[in-house]
Structure 1
């Protein structure tokens, strides 16, 4: 009889854990996309299409050198009830390899039996946000214009990441399109900046300006993740210690790249959590290691030339920086807004409406400079 009681107890514990996890998701603004959910059909097609796309990549020889044709490649797979288009598959496969993301691992995260989660935030974007069950990868619907912009600048994006492997730019891992009788959607897959997020309580979206950059943290919308903004960060700082200069310099390099693309309105996603005692001790141990003991002078010169840093032993290492007593999650997102005539008119309108105040819609040169100034002034 005892074993049966133990099994029932174990089952009850597992159920309580699952219910607690679902409750936590709800409090964080994440909801399971079950068969009754409005996006269940869409996300099911995403899963099936991505599975076939990744399988095709796994069956194709690895491309170490990318040709111009790889950047223009479009694959179309017919599935039951829909068609899935995959863009520049060899390019994104190489990018995943550079992040040490195995294709099997990528497939298991995106195509597991677990439901995707719908991510609900206070963002003004009309896009739909989904996240994998383990919250490691984001899926976001995009407009045709945004996707075309990304693909047309994909070569430059890859060159930048090759030159600066520890860039803070968000990593795009795939671009796809679902076509069915009812649905026509482009979507991208991204590495989540906030992974793992178990101990993250506060998130910020920083643009380096003041107009419209305040979020009321107590609006009573408990089922919505509150992403705070620049004005909410007043009186605080990003305390990185010895990585301060690296961080500020990398932001400048990334912002200069976006300025060359004639882009504005991007953000620095920022979150932090306290380091545990053992994490601080491990950080100090690593800090005492001398790079020269493991690298030749030539390798060390190349290491500094690419503006690298010692990364933590972490799945999401490029977006994680450990300060003296806090772990910071940082990444530059939303890089699709070009400074065209609509934005120029908006900039003129806002300059008349908010004289002497800083707002987001300014020229890429001014935006880049102000963005870097904010980072410099708030990092120590």
Structure 2
């Protein structure tokens, strides 16, 4: 059902490709397609179509991965948000259900999000590729987003973490040794460990500062730094490795007045999902900032007051965007070398 709807929605963008950067109308467009037994809406379709092409993603590949060619894979999450998570059958794209208010925030911030990626092509922000709603028969409308999976390709990944820079509710009971269960662990599971990036450490710290400053300006909090580890093979290590490094733009053809230095570009590995990959001396790291839709409004301010009383002297996720950004950057500084 969802797959057939997304196939048809992508076909529209293929039949009517955008000719330039998104306009104000593109950001507000709503396309409703009625199918037998369900209705699928595509929000800001032309803007996301432009974003996908600017990332070098062919619409035909996107359509094939999300269409009826194979079943989606349900992703087991340790999140308390009650959201549902899926991977496309090739595991390249990540789908997540969202609350209506979160979708409103994402769409309101979308023009500035596009500008940020143009200004900082190698940003750690998750690459959003689409926002949709699905209604089955006369049921409730369900919203979901599509983004590039940070953990792709996942074949040799050994550990996965979701980091918020705090301690309350930030422990996951690890799977038993030998279990096929794949869990995303949290902050307290990472105690005593570090990320060895070598010369790439300074780039990561600076990019974290740039990206969290942007999220602070949007009044956003409760986002996560996703991390995964993959041990490098012997022939993948060092300057003589078989990896070919290239410079690339995350948004191709985007004209920016910024100089390359201020854009904080880096050498990207010649591998799939290069924007979310950093290689250290021994490990390959998959890194990305996700969950960018929680605004520090009245609901979160009241939650902050309640948690202050409930958890005196302990750190928790519901704090002001300025404090949240600063604390996550401090976590990265403290846990990298």
* TM-score, length-scaled by structure 1: 0.81
Q: Distance in 2 between matches of 1:267 and 1:77?
A: 33
Larger relative helix fraction: 1
Q: Per the alignment, do residues 302 and 222 of structure 1 end up closer, same or farther by CA in structure 2, a change over 3 Å counting?
A: same
From the CA coordinates, give the structure whose radius of gyration is larger: 1
In the alignment, does 2:173 pair up with 1:237? no
In the alignment, does 2:291 pair up with 1:334? yes
Q: Is the CA contact (8 Å cut-off) linking 2:230 and 2:284 kept in structure 1?
A: yes
Counterpart in 2 of 1:8?
A: none
Q: Distance in 2 between matches of 1:113 and 1:98?
A: 25
Q: Per the alignment, do residues 214 and 59 of structure 1 end up closer, same or farther by CA in structure 2, a change over 3 Å counting?
A: same
Q: Is the CA contact (8 Å cut-off) linking 1:122 and 1:225 kept in structure 2?
A: no
Query: 1:220-259 residue pairs with structure 2 within 5 A?
Result: 224-259=181-216
Q: Distance in 2 between matches of 1:203 and 1:236?
A: 13
Counterpart in 2 of 1:24?
A: none
Q: Show CA shifts across 1:298-319 (max 9, x none).
A: x9x8322311111111221110
Counterpart in 2 of 1:70?
A: 26
Q: Is the CA contact (8 Å cut-off) linking 1:63 and 1:90 kept in structure 2?
A: no
Counterpart in 1 of 2:251?
A: none
Q: Per the alignment, do residues 242 and 111 of structure 1 end up closer, same or farther by CA in structure 2, a change over 3 Å counting?
A: same
Q: Distance in 1 between matches of 2:280 and 2:33?
A: 46
Query: 1:192-207 residue pairs with structure 2 within 5 A?
Result: 192-207=149-164
Choose which of 259, 271, 278 in structure 2 pairs with 1:321.
Answer: 278
Counterpart in 1 of 2:253?
A: none
Q: Is the CA contact (8 Å cut-off) linking 2:247 and 2:266 kept in structure 1?
A: no
Q: Give the unaligned 5+ runs of structure 2.
A: 249-255
* TM-score, length-scaled by structure 2: 0.91
Q: Distance in 2 between matches of 1:196 and 1:283?
A: 23
Shift of 1:111: 1.1
SS in 2 for 1:214: coil
Q: Is the CA contact (8 Å cut-off) linking 2:244 and 2:269 kept in structure 1?
A: no
What RMSD over aligned residues (CA atoms) do the two structures have, in Å? 2.3
In the alignment, does 2:225 pair up with 1:268? yes
Counterpart in 2 of 1:47?
A: 3
Shift of 1:180: 2.6
Q: Is the CA contact (8 Å cut-off) linking 2:246 and 2:267 kept in structure 1?
A: no
SS in 2 for 1:318: helix
Q: Show CA shifts across 1:227-280 (max 9, x none).
A: 111111111111111111010110111111111111111110001111112222
Query: 1:139-218 residue pairs with structure 2 within 5 A?
Result: 139-181=95-137, 182-218=139-175
Shift of 1:62: 3.0
Shift of 1:223: 6.9
Choose which of 345, 359, 365 in structure 1 pairs with 2:322.
Answer: 365
